[in-house]
Amino acid sequence: MNELNGGIRFIKGIGEARAKALEKLDIHTLYDLVSYFPRDYEDRSAVKPIADVQDGENCCVKAVVATAPTLARIRKGMELVKFRIADESGAANVTFFNQSYVKRNIARGGVYTFYGRFSRMGLHFELTNPVYEKADGGGVNTGRIVPVYRLTSGISRNVLSNAIEQGLKAADGLLKGVLPDHIERKYGFISSQQAYRAIHFPKDMTEAACARRRLIFEELFTLACALGSMKSRNTERSGTVIPMPETEKFYSSLPFELTGAQKRAVGDILADMSSGRAMNRLVQGDVGSGKTVVAAAAVWAAVRAGYQSAFMAPTELLADQHYNTFTKLLAPFGVKTVLLKGSMTAKQKKEIRELIALGEAELVIGTHALLSENVVFKKLALAITDEQHRFGVRQRTALSEKSDDPHVLVMSATPIPRTLALIIYGDLDVSVIDELPPGRKTTETFAVSEDKRERLNGFIRKTVSEGRQVYVVCPMIEENDDLSLHSAEEHFEQLRDVVFPDLRVALLHGKMRSAEKTDVMRRFAGGEIDILVSTTVIEVGVDVPNAVVMVIENAERFGLSQLHQLRGRVGRGADKSYCFLMRGSRGAESDERLRAMTRLSDGFKLSEEDLRLRGPGDFFGSRQHGMPEMKIASLADSLDVLSAAQDEAQKLLETDPALKKYPELEKRVKKLFEIKLN
């Protein structure tokens, strides 16, 4: 076993108790410890004369304790230690709250380095709860660049820093770089060993930046190699040959005409399935672009050839919806479609599992229940996941393991710029449905200020009186310290009790039990609720064609992609639909974002705009896509770094797809997804 994968409790200064505390930070091995990177730095390297300090500035001063520390007990639970410090240029008053031990540690006449925020109070500076140490003590916490880490109970910054120091000593010679020599030279990177030391203990901010640059590139490069290897492996996998059918038979059974983009996607899928290689394809389309009928064409082709298909949805409500849709689409061909979900009785599940095992169930639609070990397919040839932000690489793999190399089709309603799609969906071929079906009406979108609230409420009342329904989305569940934000609970009570007491108003949020959420959405879909107040939990939800108004409170708090997803909840029927973006606060960037929403209805154009305005973190920061956790890189880092890492990975994989010439890189890539390269 590589020593980097060894446990940490025998590292000097850690022991059993601290090792358990470090596990809360997901630090289990020596490698986890040395790659637990700082999230920021405090520059405590410059020591200033007190006279040069600015009001509100965080900085270090070297000063003598001019007065003996005094301890005062103001009231129960409140103790103050006070004293005065001075250097040749000036003086400052120091106060410690509830740290009585400071009186014993600080001696009058002693010279210390203090670090903290200086506030001017009249003629004097005040310093509250500063970091301090003896001026001749070597400067562990002052006089240097100090890394800032995410901490947990029982692990202070000093404890973690000391553990990392010992970890780096234990890892000396083991931290071999995964970047090939020619890439290190091309980009002028410092060595891997230097980078790991400098990221934790930099001499200055320039050295910290050099370390970050190397480690970010290395991480994105490794990820790109892993995804590229998986894609290469997938293209080499043999798959069940599904003969290319006469598509006109399927198209003529539909009550509507497919768009050119839908037909191209169907063509891509059927070509993959008839090629003899296992398909691994993403169909990426805007809200309402008609991805489901494309998937239905693939199911039809598989069933026609005598094989089973499985379709996994992220929620029971969506599984129900897809079951109804597929049943209608495939009814002309007599396809036996079944539904399997966790809330069914044991008897119902057993009956469905028997139909699947016998091969009588030709299309199986379900939730994660499909992944259960006792679900056994007889002839599974096509596995489809409705990604919708909820399934990632591992879940797709788990479903595909229900058979020997089935064709895999992934559907996503999140338009993502190509640059990011290469990383997020790097293991898949991509088909894009970039046009909406004819007759689909654009949702009119308006950015509205609070002074138009009464007019908006009047419009909502008129909409409901005409038999239509309304969504109201709030950015949080409960009231908190930020009084400018609408909470779903508070806004729900206001609408139910004060504004619309005569209407049927309901609440939906993520902390509700699954059964409660399902019940609320079923009642809304059934027309039993007029106004649904919700958090973003409805971003991925069932179709309610009768809902024609979407109100988004504090719309400036959301990214464009999320606003577009929310807007996509309306406009699903024949009636004209409206989206009102309520401004909670103004700002140049948020105003520009809301203007883009009122101007653009194309999700792909909006995703490019979002990338330009906010950077890529919004697409990738929430760990929604099942990607491995990044230790230092985020897509908020420069897109140039991401593009360069992808380019270098692609070039390398073209010459050495199994990475046999680069054993350290091969090891890291395998570890990332626990995959086999050959």
State what percent of residues in the chain have pLDDT above 90: 51
The per-residue pLDDT for 484 is: 47
Domain boundaries, the chain: 1-38+157-173, 46-143, 239-433, 444-600
**For residue range 420-448, what is the model confidence (pLDDT) as tens digits?**
666 666 667 888 888 777 767 789 999 99
SS3 content of the chain, % helix, strand, coil (to 5): 40, 20, 40
**For residue range 630-660, what is the model confidence (pLDDT) as tens digits?**
678 765 555 678 888 889 998 999 899 889 8
The per-residue pLDDT for 423 is: 66
The per-residue pLDDT for 675 is: 47
CATH 3.40.50.300 fits 444-600, yes or no: yes
Q: Provide φ and ψ at 430, rounded to 5°.
A: -125, 130
192-200 and 205-236 are packed helices; what angle lies between their axes, rounded to 10 degrees? 130
639-655 and 205-236 are packed helices; what angle lies between their axes, rounded to 10 degrees? 40
Residue whose pair of structure tokens reads 């031990």 in the numeric block: 101
The per-residue pLDDT for 95 is: 96
In terms of Cβ atoms closer than 10 Å to its own Cβ (0-12, 13-18, 19+), residue 626 is: middle
**CATH (one of 3.90.1010.10, 3.20.20.100, 3.40.50.300, 3.30.70.1710) for 239-433:** 3.40.50.300
The per-residue pLDDT for 622 is: 38
* Helix residue spans in 466-499 (DSSP H): 488-494
Helix (H, G, I), strand (E, B), or coil: what is residue 292?
helix
**For residue range 583-626, what is the model confidence (pLDDT) as tens digits?**
877 677 778 889 999 998 888 788 777 776 655 544 444 334 44
CA separation for the pair 285, 505 (Å, rounded):
32
Gyration radius from the chain CA atoms: 30
In terms of Cβ atoms closer than 10 Å to its own Cβ (0-12, 13-18, 19+), residue 95 is: middle
Query: pLDDT band at 313, cuts 50/70/90?
Result: confident
Give, for 409, the enclosing helix (H) or strand (E).
strand 407-412
Cβ neighbors of 249 (< 8 A, separation 6 or more) are none
C-beta separation of 57 from 194 below 8 A: no
Strands in 152-197 per DSSP E: none
The per-residue pLDDT for 165 is: 92
Q: Provide φ and ψ at 296, rounded to 5°.
A: -65, -35
CA separation for the pair 123, 125 (Å, rounded):
7
Task: Give the amino acid at 665.
Answer: L
- Partner residues linked to 277 by β-bridges: 238
pTM: 0.63
Q: Quick one: average pLDDT of 127-153?
A: 86
The per-residue pLDDT for 623 is: 38
C-beta separation of 239 from 407 below 8 A: yes
Q: Which residues of 446-467 are buried (b: 16+ CB within 10 A; e: fewer)?
A: ebbeeeeeeebeebbbebbeee
The per-residue pLDDT for 672 is: 75
**For residue range 169-185, what is the model confidence (pLDDT) as tens digits?**
999 888 888 999 999 99
**For residue range 38-62, what is the model confidence (pLDDT) as tens digits?**
988 988 988 999 999 999 999 999 9
Residue whose pair of structure tokens reads 């990214």 in the numeric block: 559
Same CATH topology for 46-143 and 444-600: the answer is: no
C-beta separation of 488 from 477 below 8 A: yes
pLDDT of 538 > 90? The answer is: no
Reference 261, options 436, 410, 416, 415; nearest CA is: 436
Q: Which CATH superfamily is domain 46-143 in?
A: Nucleic acid-binding proteins (2.40.50.140)
Chain length of the chain = 678
Reference 669, options 654, 655, 649; nearest CA is: 649
State the greatest distance between any 2 C-alpha atoms of the chain, in Å, as a whole number.
94
Q: Quick one: average pLDDT of 339-347?
A: 89
Reference 53, options 147, 117, 137, 7; nearest CA is: 117
The tokens describing 509, both together, are 């949020």
The per-residue pLDDT for 500 is: 96
pLDDT of 676 > 60? The answer is: no
- How many beta carbons lie within 10 A of that of residue 58, not counting itself? 14
Query: pLDDT band at 395, cuts 50/70/90?
Result: low
Least confident span in 209-223, 456-470, 573-587:
573-587
